[in-house]
Structure 1
Amino acid sequence: MTKPQRYSAGAMFFHWTIAVLVIWNWRLAENANHAGDRAQAMAIFADHKAIGILILVLTVFRLIWRLTHPVPPLPGNYAPWERILARTTHIVFYVLLLALPIGAWLANSLAGRDIDMFGLFTIPALPVGRNEGLAETIFGIHGTGGEIMIYLIGLHILGALKHTFFDKDGGIFRMLPFGRVGKERSSLR
């Protein structure tokens, strides 16, 4: 019995939904940082925070999905450094997808702020007490983590394009429901 070369429909759903939300949230943060006034920035950041919590929830479900559904093996033609880079990138993605929203929730809590979920309900502040200085430090780390996430997305896209168009192993089609996934070539690397 051969292992599937393509990710499951559930994995594709989580991958693409979270990817779109992360990029959208990055753009919201950029827009908020360049807003004309504080009220406009806070309104944009309210959406940014709500989407961050949504990303956190989807990531938890994505991890559960990943643990309960088989993941296709990396193609056999990957060099050892490509295998290490692919695995490391995915681990860092998961860490950031969890740590960024949790860190922002903690920072908001330290600043005494709840998180409004698009006017539908409110996520209360964590019971951590107020500490504006620590909140600002965590927000700074959150911003740096967000920048790392964007660079990592760029690296991920470049890798998918390399494998699809140069190596011709169907890299990007492993995470799409269409397209030709390249034939698995065995390798003893």
Structure 2
Amino acid sequence: MTSSARYSAVAIALHWAIALGIIGMIALGWNMEGNESLYQLHKSIGITILILTIARIIWRVMNPPPPLPEEMKPLEKTASHLVHWAFYGLMLAMPLTGWLLVSTSYDFDIPTVLYGLVSWPDIPGVGFLANETGHAIVEFVHSKLAWVAIALLVLHVAGAVKHEFSAEEGVLKRMLPGLFGKTTRPSPPPHGFLVAFGAAIAVFALIAFVPKFFSGGSGTANETPLSSESGASNWTVDHGQSGIYFSGTHDGNEYEGEFGDWSADIQFDPDNLEDASAVVTVRTASANASKKLYTDSLRSAEWFNVSDFATATATLSNFEKTGDDAYEADLTLAIKESSVTVPFTFELDIDGDEARMKGEATVQRTPLNLGQQSDPTADWVGEDVLIDVEVLASRKS
């Protein structure tokens, strides 16, 4: 009986991290239907496997694995090598085809946010596949790779167990963490840690962060802030003490958000409501929601479509006084190429040259063509969206 040299600690860690990731991916793939959280986790683990595989391939090149026992038959050695390299190909192909599948979605365009923290872009230049036929082909290939993974897992485990109890005992132990039995020898000193993981991190950063520099990050870079009033306004808004907020429901849970960049031209005199008006211009890319996934979704084409429609406008007209410090006006909200008019109720407290206003309105998504591609029947995102406005303003001289 001979002993087998042991893999390095880094190789062992990468092996089991990727193995658990692949098993988790298969399990999620069969159980994530109708569950957006599991869907996002599935995508997050897939990209993690892709990045770890890059590190593992570089590590393997710089730190060759221990040789197989001499007692193994040539055919068994060849089969072992083929299974290993097939796994490496699979560890690249599965996440890449999954990424391609997401990038070619044409009827359910949900952004990818890794672990709810990092935005992950679609693959550029694959628009020709973003149709029913192209997407179906990619989906077929990706789903069948899961069965390939299961087959390779069975072969890999069977081979390891078989050789563990044969003449070359120790083959399995050399990849088990924390086991340094008598049948294993120490591995040679490893090298290339910074190269392997540095390259993997560089690939991740190149994909996740570099495109933001070319797109202006949040979509507001190098653009003049909207927080200024025109000469027609007789009030100056204190944006530090004011805000435009929105809220609603998603999958039965409440969400909320705020627009960070907006301007308001307000012409208002409580003694002359016939001439009162207000026009609010909002930078759509400045919307920030309670989850990064929601924020990224709002910027997509089927929601605010910030690349083609940088701003939205809200116009207040037909003011009426309904009680002590209580008013109502018509709010006309224009987003993209759609508009609706709804009641806007507010309370206004004017103290000398300072005014404080709190108001609200409820709008529906469908008339504004928001989210109608992936959720037209409001199965996930509630139809009603509540808009809350708080304004602190001072009267101009």
For the pair 1:142 / 2:142, whether they are aligned, the reply is: yes
Q: Letter of the aligned partner of 1:151 in structure 2?
A: A
Structure 1 residue 118: Cα displacement = 1.4
Please say if 1:171 is aligned against 2:171: yes
* Residue among 114, 118, 121 paired with 1:117: 114
Q: Which of structures 1 and 2 has the bigger CA Rg?
A: 2
Pairing 1:56–2:59 present = no
Whether the 8 Å CA contact 1:7–1:175 is kept in 2: the answer is yes
Check conservation: 1:109, 1:126, Cα contact below 8 A: yes
Distance 1:27 1:132 in 2: 26
Q: State the 1:171 CA deviation.
A: 1.5
* Corresponding residue number in structure 2 for 1:81: 75
Pairs aligned (count): 174
Bigger proportion of residues as helix: 1
Give the C-alpha shift of residue 24 in structure 1. 1.2
Alpha-carbon distance, 1:170 to partner: 1.1
Q: Hey, what's the Cα distance between the residues in 2 that align with 1:108 and 1:153?
A: 26
For residues 167 and 114 of structure 1, what CA distance do their matches in structure 2 show?
52
Higher relative strand content: 2
Q: Where does residue 93 of structure 1 map in the other structure? A: 87
Aligned to 1:13: 13
Shift of 1:133: 2.2
**CA distance in 1 between partners of 2:58 and 2:183 (Å):** 25
CA contact (8 A) 2:44 2:114 kept: yes
> In 1, are the aligned partners of 2:102 and 2:122 still within 8 Å (CA)?
yes
Aligned twin of 1:181: 183
| Distance of 2:83 and 2:174 partners within structure 1 | 17
Question: Within 2, Cα distance between the matches of 1:113 and 1:140?
Answer: 20
| C-alpha deviation, 1:146, in angstroms | 1.0
Task: Assess if the C-alpha contact under 8 Å between 1:5 and 1:174 holds in 2.
Answer: yes
Which moves more between the two structures, 96-105 or 131-140?
A: 131-140
Change (3 A) 1:182 1:141: same
**Alignment of 1:68 onto 2:65:** no
How far apart in 1 are the matches of 2:90 and 2:183?
28
Deviations 1:37-67 (A, max 9, x none): x3x2x33222111100000000000011111
Mapped pair 1:45 → 2:39: yes
- Counterpart code for 2:175: M
Percent identity for Structure 1 against Structure 2: 37
Cα distance change on mapping 1:182 and 1:14 into 2, 3 Å: closer
CA distance in 2, matches of 1:170, 1:27: 30
- The TM-score with structure 1 as length reference comes to 0.85
SS at match of 2:172: helix
Check 1:84–1:132 CA distance in 2 against 1; reply closer, same or farther (3 A cut).
same
Q: What RMSD in Å do the two structures reach over aligned CA positions?
A: 1.8
How much does 1:121 deviate?
A: 1.3
Aligned CA distance change for structure 1 residues 131 and 10 (closer, same or farther; 3 Å): same
Matched to 2:123, the amino acid is L
CA distance in structure 2 between the partners assigned to 1:58 and 1:85 by the alignment: 24
Listed one character per residue, the Cα deviations across residues 3-61 of structure 1 (whole Å, up to 9, x for unaligned) are: x71111110010011111111111111212xx5xx3x2x33222111100000000000
Gaps of 5+ in 1: 184-189
* Separation in 2, partners of 1:132, 1:54: 28
Residue type of the alignment partner of 2:70: G
Give the number of the structure with larger relative contact order, counting CA–CA contacts within 8 Å between residues 6 or more apart.
Answer: 1
Amino acid at match of 1:106: L
Query: Where do 5+ consecutive residues of structure 2 fail to align?
Result: 186-397
Contact 2:69–2:168 (CA<8 Å) still a contact in 1?
no
TM-score (norm 2): 0.42
Question: Post-superposition shift, 1:168?
Answer: 4.6
Q: Is the 8 A contact 2:174 2:184 kept in 1?
A: no
Cα shift at 1:164: 0.7
